């Protein structure tokens, strides 16, 4: 595709330049010891009662105390309590000690323990998660692709185990990511080039092969994703929170889109037919087990003519039981009507064919089960895996994806089915272009300060589209109880996930620079304990970085409550007025999390 190629090379050029500039800057600053940003907490916090101090240093009345959520909810007069320092990596729904108590009832043969398990609310902490000792404001993109502060992710396990595989090395106060991975010791860029060669038979790269969105299973430190960016390819990377590897924490600290997730017993929180490629490089998933049920989930997520890339020993080793596993994989994939298109070096690639008669034939032969008709307007959230193959019905349309700018503005059939008209879609797109301009003015910071962005109620992704020209990536969240607009977001070439804000999100603390909550709270008004306004604010505080921004637009009754609460969460808050879609004025709060620390 000629157009595609032009887009591909434009991206390459831009990001190459940015990286050169940033590296030069870095060399200059290195020995001065001021590698970007303000790296001392502005508010050297006492976090205890302290008498008057010199102007410029604030003291807080908040107390350090291990506090659990009580019913009814109670915020102390002194402000939210601060959790003890040991909780600086607290992820409520991936808390090892809580999961241990559930183990007798979990199906460990299917790795159910790696999935989300949210504690009942009385077992949730109700205190602000503190930064780790010596935490520094993260290094900015694009330098962060290669360097992050050591003290921000103080875990040596990955460097020790994976040092020889060139994932990550220690360099004084920094972690250095040379761009390796288990399967690409010589760098992700070369590996990506090889995959492109295999798919196009040596005539092009992944971009020209039409790959725009990738699901990276067991992503490591997400170097694969980092090196797909120059090709204009968006990647959703995930890995479980297992052992002491902190893969996702590294990825997000680098400024690469990723979330904690595991494929075990439930569907992944992404819509059907979203990715042109699923990538597994030694991802430690047993695809051949359980009748290939996990592979069938990948089949659900892949678009037609999408690729399954598998770089793992069964693809190339003839020792142990690898040949048997390979045979099982071949049987399963051919039953699903996937076609092996390349098998070279250490990688095998299948394509998911659009071949209904093949599926019907295999179903008659009892090689495969076809699913009953599925309603794609529902979100895949806490849905058990299905041991069947979904066939294309009237319900699935995957548009031929064209150039990036065309894609960003594509209106798809799936929207009309859930009642979003073309006009609404277009005016929504224009509206957010305007709003984002206002936001930049109100935030009053350099665009390079903001990299990891989450739109907590993304609707059709208009906000993310408007940020497209900025050096950001956006996690678009569609609440699971709303209509599935996430399919449309994926059709626009963007990424995101379903989520229920009655539960904490599957990410580490301090992973986003900006959270956007557009009319989110009214949706959770009558959902009961666990998703009261304060609960959601606490979760927002957990996942936002120090000095990160929280932009909230909502009804006056809600914004005025948040204005009162913000100081108790140690947020600065400004109130502004902007026009809403109906051209009426609406309150927009710009909150900023203070950089505080336990001293």
Ligand X SMILES: *[C@@H]1O[C@H](CO)[C@@H](O)[C@H](O)[C@H]1NC(C)=O
Residue ranges binding ligand X (CB under 6 A): 132-134, 151, 154, 201, 324, 327-328, 331, 341, 444
CB of 154 to ligand X, least distance (A): 4
Question: Which of these, 423, 493, 496, 430, lies nearest to 459 by C-alpha position?
Answer: 496
The Cα–Cα gap between 304 and 326 comes to 23
Which strands make up the sheet holding 147-149, listed edge to edge? 147-149, 174-176, 169-171
Percentage helix, strand, coil for the chain under 3-state DSSP, each rounded to 5: 35, 20, 45
CB of 530 to ligand X, least distance (A): 32
108 or 201: CB nearest ligand X: 201
The Cα–Cα gap between 505 and 138 comes to 21
Tokens of 569: 């969460």
63 or 155: CB nearest ligand X: 155
The Cα–Cα gap between 286 and 29 comes to 46
150 or 545: CB nearest ligand X: 150
127 or 332: CB nearest ligand X: 332
CB of 408 to ligand X, least distance (A): 30
CB of 538 to ligand X, least distance (A): 24
CB of 78 to ligand X, least distance (A): 27
CB of 161 to ligand X, least distance (A): 15
CB of 356 to ligand X, least distance (A): 22
Helices (H), 263-412: 293-301, 322-335, 356-364, 404-408
| Residue 213, CA atoms < 13 Å, CB-side half-sphere | 26
54 or 444: CB nearest ligand X: 444
201 or 416: CB nearest ligand X: 201
CA dihedral 487, 490, 492, 494 (to 10 degrees): 140
The Cα–Cα gap between 260 and 222 comes to 12
- The distance from CA 73 to its chain's CA centroid, rounded to whole angstroms, is 30
The Cα–Cα gap between 144 and 127 comes to 29
> In this structure, how many other beta carbons lie within 10 angstroms of the beta carbon of residue 416?
12
Q: Tell me if the bond preceding 142 is cis, omega within 30° of 0.
A: yes
190 or 327: CB nearest ligand X: 327
CB of 365 to ligand X, least distance (A): 9
50 or 331: CB nearest ligand X: 331
CB of 139 to ligand X, least distance (A): 16
DSSP 8-state code for residue 381:
S
63 or 328: CB nearest ligand X: 328
Residues 506, 486 contacting (CB under 8 angstroms): no
282 or 328: CB nearest ligand X: 328
The Cα–Cα gap between 180 and 310 comes to 17
The Cα–Cα gap between 196 and 208 comes to 9
Q: CA–CA distance from 213 to each of 109, 408, 458, 494, 586 (Å)?
A: 31, 13, 18, 8, 35
CB of 42 to ligand X, least distance (A): 13
Long-range residue pairs from 32-36, CB within 8 A, at least 24 positions apart, any chain? 35/139, 35/143, 35/147, 35/174, 36/139, 36/140, 36/143
């Amino acid at each position: 595709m000629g157009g595609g190629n032009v887009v591909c090379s434009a991206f390459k050029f831009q990001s190459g330049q940015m990286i050169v500039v940033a590296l030069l800057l870095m060399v200059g600053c290195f020995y001065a010891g001021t590698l970007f940003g303000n790296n001392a907490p502005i508010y050297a916090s006492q976090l205890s009662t302290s008498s008057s101090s010199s102007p410029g240093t604030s003291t807080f009345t908040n107390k350090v105390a291990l506090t659990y959520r009580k019913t009814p909810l109670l915020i102390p007069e002194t402000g939210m309590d601060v959790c003890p320092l040991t909780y600086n990596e607290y992820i409520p729904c991936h808390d090892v000690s809580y999961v241990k108590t559930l183990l007798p009832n979990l199906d460990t043969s299917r790795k159910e323990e790696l999935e989300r398990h949210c504690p009942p609310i009385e077992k949730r902490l109700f205190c602000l998660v503190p930064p780790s000792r010596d935490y520094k404001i993260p290094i900015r993109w694009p330098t962060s692709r290669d360097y992050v502060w050591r003290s921000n992710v103080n875990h040596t396990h990955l460097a020790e185990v994976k040092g020889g595989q060139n994932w990550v090395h220690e360099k004084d106060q920094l972690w250095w990511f040379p761009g390796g991975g288990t399967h690409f010791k010589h760098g992700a860029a070369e590996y990506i080039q090889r995959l492109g060669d295999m798919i196009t038979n040596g005539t092009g790269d992944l971009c020209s092969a039409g790959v725009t969105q990738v699901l990276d299973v067991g992503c490591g430190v997400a170097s694969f994703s980092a090196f797909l960016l120059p090709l204009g390819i968006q990647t959703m990377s995930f890995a479980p929170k297992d052992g002491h590897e902190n893969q996702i924490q590294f990825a997000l600290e680098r400024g690469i889109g990723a979330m904690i997730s595991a494929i075990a017993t439930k569907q992944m929180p992404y819509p059907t037919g979203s990715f042109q490629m699923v990538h597994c490089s030694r991802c430690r998933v047993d695809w051949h087990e359980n009748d290939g049920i996990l592979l069938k989930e990948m089949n659900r997520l892949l678009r037609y003519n999408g690729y399954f890339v598998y770089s793992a020993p069964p693809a190339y080793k003839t020792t142990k039981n690898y040949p048997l596993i390979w045979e099982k994989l071949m049987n399963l994939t051919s039953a699903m009507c996937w076609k092996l298109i390349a098998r070279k070096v250490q990688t095998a690639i299948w394509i998911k064919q659009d071949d209904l008669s093949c599926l019907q034939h295999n179903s008659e032969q009892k090689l495969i089960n076809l699913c009953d008709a599925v309603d794609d307007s529902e979100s895949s959230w806490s849905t058990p895996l299905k041991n069947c193959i979904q066939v294309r019905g009237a319900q699935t349309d995957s548009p031929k994806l064209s150039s990036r700018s065309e894609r960003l503005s594509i209106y798809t059939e799936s929207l009309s089915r859930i009642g979003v008209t073309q006009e609404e879609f277009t005016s929504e797109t224009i509206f957010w272009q305007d709003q984002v301009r206002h936001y930049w003015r109100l935030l009053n910071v350099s665009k390079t300060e903001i990299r990891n962005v989450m739109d907590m109620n993304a609707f059709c992704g208009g906000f993310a589209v408007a940020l497209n020209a900025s050096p950001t990536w956006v996690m678009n969240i569609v609440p699971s109880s709303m209509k599935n607009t996430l399919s449309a977001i994926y059709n626009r070439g963007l990424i995101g996930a379903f989520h229920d804000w009655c539960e904490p999100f599957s990410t580490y603390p301090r992973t986003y620079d900006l959270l956007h909550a557009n009319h989110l709270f009214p949706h959770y008004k009558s959902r009961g304990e666990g998703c009261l306004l304060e609960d959601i604010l606490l979760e927002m505080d957990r996942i936002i970085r120090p000095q990160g921004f929280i932009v909230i637009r909502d009804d006056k009754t809600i914004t005025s409550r948040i204005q009162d609460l913000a100081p108790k969460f140690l947020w600065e808050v400004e109130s502004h007025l902007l026009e809403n879609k109906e051209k009426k004025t609406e309150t927009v709060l710009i909150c900023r999390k203070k950089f505080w620390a336990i001293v």
